Structure 1
Amino acid sequence: MSVELKKAIESITPDLLQGYLESQSWVKDGTISNKAIIWHRDNVDSYSQEVIQPTDSNIRSYEQRLIEAIKSVAEFESRTVLAVIDDMLNFSSDLIKVRVVHPDVEGGTIPLEDGVLLIEKSRDLMIASTLSTFKKQKVFNGSRSQNAQDFLSKLKLGQTEIGSFIVNLISPIEINTEIQKDSCETSLARSVTVNLARSLTAISEAMNNYANSKSVFDFEETVTKGVSANLCDALIGLSGRAKTRRFSIMIKAGGLEPGPIHYSDNYEFSSQSIPNLEAASEYLKGRYTVRNFEVCGFVSVLKHLPNEDNGQIIVKALVRGKIKSIAIQLSLDEYWQAFEAHKVGNEIACIGTLNVSPKSAQLLDPKGFDVIERKGGIFDDET
């Protein structure tokens, strides 16, 4: 027996093997001296398939009997023993595998600083997915809820693997009552896993759209699907300090909680996708640029110092359905036109590059300044 197989076998408990067999539609068909359970398939065509599961780990031949049982399962499933053991070990947990690919990790090692960053950003990925499971928002700052913190404290870091370089994140499934099993309620672990898959699907689709449209507003609708700036930053970090590594995220649902996730189980990100993720992150943080944006609204503030040949106005205008105060630098002639428009209650309009940050907005390189005259007097009743 190989060292790898022996180490894996040591982690298979009788309850774990029994749970796996039950989840794969094996049926109990008797016992042997209270030391083993006989299992068969539940249909006539494959009833001859048999697994003898040892239930007493204290018997002298327990390890050999366990290997024979797993070999029987592997033969029926047409898979390797190690593949079946891997599924059994992760039976009670959802598994997220983060794999990075780059020439400097092909030997199964990774530069220390990047290795630390990889673990840190893998953790941040799960934090972002957990927080957006409870509440959908663009950015998460500050303290976390107790429910979120309790769940995050139960996550585990599995052994890293050679395969370019793989980090295993283990999310234990907790189904505490028969009521939960019978009513098919979803565990928090599975809810977070589904939310992660949903958000990765949404950001992948939005990045494809953004690559063609160059409109940051393509990222707006991703928020309702669990995407946040925190998630984008975690994904960016997985590409390494130089942002040059390709990486993938594989999601494997534990068998303890039945039912499909309904999303892809593998997501690929190239180094070329990093600028798009950065654009998404900046937009969700409230920092973005829109070219050829038309500002149309009322002047609320005017600023002009003596001897200056320009002036600044603040315009209250709609941006994506929300009122923003937009600063615009105008020539002196246009400034005085805006001044008169403000006096009589007319709107102004001009086009430029809208630069937005969380606390301010500015229209750069304004062109086509115009005053939109109101019909009737400023105090006339509207009809």
Structure 2
Amino acid sequence: MNDVPDFGPNEIRSYLRVNGWAPIDGSELAELWNLPGLADEVVLVPLKQGAPDFGKRVHILLTDLARVQDQDTRAVHDAIATVYHDVTDLRAAHPSTSDGSIPLEAGYELFISAKRMRVASAAATLRRQGHFRNFPPRARDQAREVRLGQTRRGSYIVPIISQARSPLEVYSPGQSDIDAGVEEVLFDRRVTATMSRALGVLEEMASADRDPTPSEVSDSVGEGVSYELCQALAKVVNVSSVNTLDVSFNWSRVAAPPSDTPLRVTFNQDALDTIEKVSTQLKTRTYTRQHVIYGIVTDLSRQPDDEDGRVGVQTLLQRRSRIVWMHLPPETYHVAVRCHDEGVPVRVQGVLSTPPGGHANMTVSGFGPDPSLPFAQAAGQ
């Protein structure tokens, strides 16, 4: 722990702030932070990340925090290192395994399925589609961009670490341009939210006392469920040495969790029958493919005599900034106006047309504040 830590002063300050600490004194070299209470604890935070003794000072800080918070030093270190990240824990368990290990075959399937679930969720974040066959390149990139944390005891836990810096400060009212760097960070949060909602829907269908109807399976596609996600899930639970897979979503403390997302979902071998039935329906039935775009409202046009309004949403298409044009009915147009005035990013679902050399247009089936971000509910009212 005396090595140079993989985080800096900003992560330390954010971690302390969300845990009730406050700065009381300092200079450009270090700050003193206080935790109000009976003990009136004070810790020193080093601020010069390039200083020769930065690692040593951080080690002392971690030791102090572990003592005050009655935690393991490694747990405090990991919490600071991931304060700007969402951490998705995949836990494989079996009653016969009591030492925190699982057989090699089960571990292999867990790691491979972690990748497959993430890529399938990224694909569903871009397109609602029951069976992809070929993933969009942006979805495949997810497997290279997210990180895996150290495996942990507690049966066998594999953490998936993805970016989630607070979006509260990224856009302002009347914003005229999106920021590609910001959108890349927000895409990670959107993928995790899609994964959480999709697995939540699958858990609900698997725990019901009847088979899901074709209509329910079709509706699940709109929440991010796909044949590929079902297959990745089944691969883990179908291994004889794993009888339960649960997935926990630990949302970043500096970015409020997205609305209507479960914190934990659990699948046992009894769920396999339903998952396979859903998977088969998604593979053999034809479902309409719809694109999903995310961005900010930059253009609004509606004449007094017009019923619908014309709206331009700036987004990233193939990682390039473009305006997508759409016509919205009065009620939805008013939502677009509020999102523009308040600087709230939006999510739009529908059929996208991008003719070469022409304007990008979308026939909209769903429009509203981006539900992956914490201010969506207020803006949609």
TM bin, normalised by shorter chain, reads 0.5 to 0.7
Residues 48 and 54 of structure 2 are in contact (CA less than 8 Å); yes or no, is this contact kept in structure 1? yes
Pairwise CA distance, 1:178: 5.8
Q: CA distance change for structure 1 residues 157 and 29 in 2, over 3 Å: closer, same or farther?
A: same
Amino acid at match of 1:51: V
Cα RMSD after superposing both structures:
3.5
Q: CA distance change for structure 1 residues 267 and 9 in 2, over 3 Å: closer, same or farther?
A: farther
Secondary structure at 2:284 match in 1:
coil
The one-character-per-residue Cα deviations of 1:168-215 (angstroms, maximum 9, x if unpaired) are: 212134679964489898811111111111111111112233x33564
Provide the residue aligned with 2:85 in structure 1. Answer: 93
Residues 32 and 44 of structure 2 are in contact (CA less than 8 Å); yes or no, is this contact kept in structure 1? yes
- Residue identity over aligned pairs, in percent, reads 23
Q: CA distance change for structure 1 residues 169 and 181 in 2, over 3 Å: closer, same or farther?
A: farther
Provide the residue aligned with 1:167 in structure 2. Answer: 158
Amino acid at match of 1:14: P
* Separation in structure 2 between the aligned mates of residue 263 and residue 176 of structure 1, nearest angstrom: 17
Q: Specify every segment of 5 or more residues in structure 1 that has no aligned partner in the other structure, as ranges.
A: 1-5, 289-383
Of residues 33, 44, 47, the one that matches 1:55 is 47
Q: CA distance change for structure 1 residues 132 and 214 in 2, over 3 Å: closer, same or farther?
A: closer
Residues 253 and 261 of structure 1 are in contact (CA less than 8 Å); yes or no, is this contact kept in structure 2? no
* Separation in structure 2 between the aligned mates of residue 74 and residue 267 of structure 1, nearest angstrom: 30
1:1-383 equivalences in 2 (<5 Å): 6=1, 10-24=5-19, 26-32=21-27, 34-40=28-34, 48-57=40-49, 62-74=54-66, 77=69, 79-103=71-95, 105-145=97-137, 147-173=138-164, 179-180=170-171, 187-209=186-208, 211-212=209-210, 215-242=213-240, 245-259=243-257, 262-286=260-284
Pairwise CA distance, 1:164: 1.8
Provide the residue aligned with 2:354 in structure 1. Answer: none
* Separation in structure 1 between the aligned mates of residue 75 and residue 15 of structure 2, nearest angstrom: 13
TM-score (ref. length: structure 1): 0.62
Which structure's CA Rg is the greater one? 1
* Separation in structure 1 between the aligned mates of residue 77 and residue 198 of structure 2, nearest angstrom: 30
Instruction: Answer 1 or 2: higher relative contact order, Cα 8 Å, separation at least 6.
Output: 2
Pairwise CA distance, 1:229: 1.2
Provide the residue aligned with 2:313 in structure 1. Answer: none
Pairwise CA distance, 1:55: 1.8
Residues 216 and 279 of structure 1 are in contact (CA less than 8 Å); yes or no, is this contact kept in structure 2? no
Secondary structure at 1:29 match in 2:
strand
The one-character-per-residue Cα deviations of 1:26-50 (angstroms, maximum 9, x if unpaired) are: 4433314x32112246xx8789443
Residues 140 and 230 of structure 1 are in contact (CA less than 8 Å); yes or no, is this contact kept in structure 2? yes
Q: CA distance change for structure 1 residues 119 and 105 in 2, over 3 Å: closer, same or farther?
A: farther
Pairwise CA distance, 1:279: 0.9
Pairwise CA distance, 1:105: 4.6
Q: CA distance change for structure 1 residues 48 and 112 in 2, over 3 Å: closer, same or farther?
A: closer
* Separation in structure 2 between the aligned mates of residue 273 and residue 250 of structure 1, nearest angstrom: 18
Residues 40 and 47 of structure 1 are in contact (CA less than 8 Å); yes or no, is this contact kept in structure 2? no
* Separation in structure 2 between the aligned mates of residue 231 and residue 60 of structure 1, nearest angstrom: 47
Secondary structure at 2:87 match in 1:
strand
